[in-house]
Structure 1
Amino acid sequence: MRRKYGVADTTFSRIDMGAIAIKTITKEDPDAEIVRYTVPGIKDLPVAAKRLLDSGCDGVITLGWVGKSMLDKYSYLAASIGLITTQIITSKHVIDVTIHEDEAEDEEQLKNIAIDRVTKHSINLVKLIRDGKNSLTPFAGKGLRQGYGNAGPIED
């Protein structure tokens, strides 16, 4: 069965996160159909995700970039609530991948965080869509992290 993935990204992002997601999804699920929808900013991602899901996508990854100001952070909060609402309304996964400008001291580190986070969450989306709801269960409690090194589990 051919699976259909949605990739929603923004023009505000400082790297092409959509291309990274598409490359990763294609590698993980070579038979996948991928539909990309690019919008101006993070507050536009909920409707992009909803439209992709309404068009038959089995799941969506949204890729946003948040500036450093408090206004940017409030915009992200609004977008996040919209993405959660979209998941509830559609009963489908919307994996929210967000990069915050204040996560790193320099642009190279920020770029590396973005690449790592997009790649790992794209794989998570494929596992959920292709392999089913229990596909991530073996990784529960492992302290896995996207964007940084894994935290690891707390041993008994």
Structure 2
Amino acid sequence: MPVIGIVDTTFARFNMGKAAVDEIQKHASAKIIRRTVPGIKDLPVAAKKLIEEEKCDIVMALGMPGSKDKDRMCAHEASTGIIRAQLMTNTHIIEVFVHEDEGKDEKELAFLMEQRSREHALNVVKMLFKPEQLIKEAGTGQRQGFRDVGPARV
């Protein structure tokens, strides 16, 4: 049975990990191991530990960077760390970030955090169980959280 790691943060203003776990359980049979860390810069090592110590086949790293310039810098550093952890372990870590200023108000921000978490959870299911589905979706302008934009027209 595949093992899926979920790591989220206490800094986020929505329980992204819960939404991801719920969505995976609706679509696949897999063992899920969840960890929660304080902030996004803690995600890379937590994801790496899930892979190396818990033998996860894939990991989702979910977090919410704030809206200030220093938060964008922290998000970039966390993202770079996640990429390095992927390369060090040869395992996919699906980064799911929602910046605090992406929503026009609290309601839209909460909607976006839930939708992006759920839609990327479906991507994880596809990567593990239905990779041919992702091939069919190549070039179709998929967007997680907001409406898909569709393919470019020539």
TM-score range, shorter chain: over 0.9
State yes or no: 1:110 paired with 2:109. Answer: yes
Aligned residue identity for 1:68: S
Runs of 4+ in structure 1 off by over 4 angstroms are none
Find the counterpart in structure 2 of residue 141 from structure 1. 139
- How far 1:105 sits from its partner (Å)? 1.5
Q: What are the residue-to-residue correspondences of 1:1-156 with 2, within 5 Å?
A: 2-29=1-28, 31-54=29-52, 55-132=54-131, 134-156=132-154
Question: Residue type of the partner of 2:118?
Answer: T
Query: Bigger shift: 110-119 or 40-49?
Result: 110-119
- TM-score under structure 2 length normalisation: 0.96
Gaps of 5+ in 1: none
CA distance in 1, matches of 2:55, 2:94: 16
Q: Which amino acid aligns with 1:146?
A: Q
Q: CA deviation at 1:135?
A: 4.0
Between the aligned partners of 1:38 and 1:75, the Cα distance in structure 2 is 18
Aligned length: 153
Structure 2 unaligned blocks of 5 or more: none
CA contact (8 A) 1:49 1:60 kept: yes
Instruction: Determine helix, strand or coil for the equivalent of 1:62.
Output: strand
TM-score computed with the length of structure 1 as normaliser: 0.95
Identity fraction in percent: 42
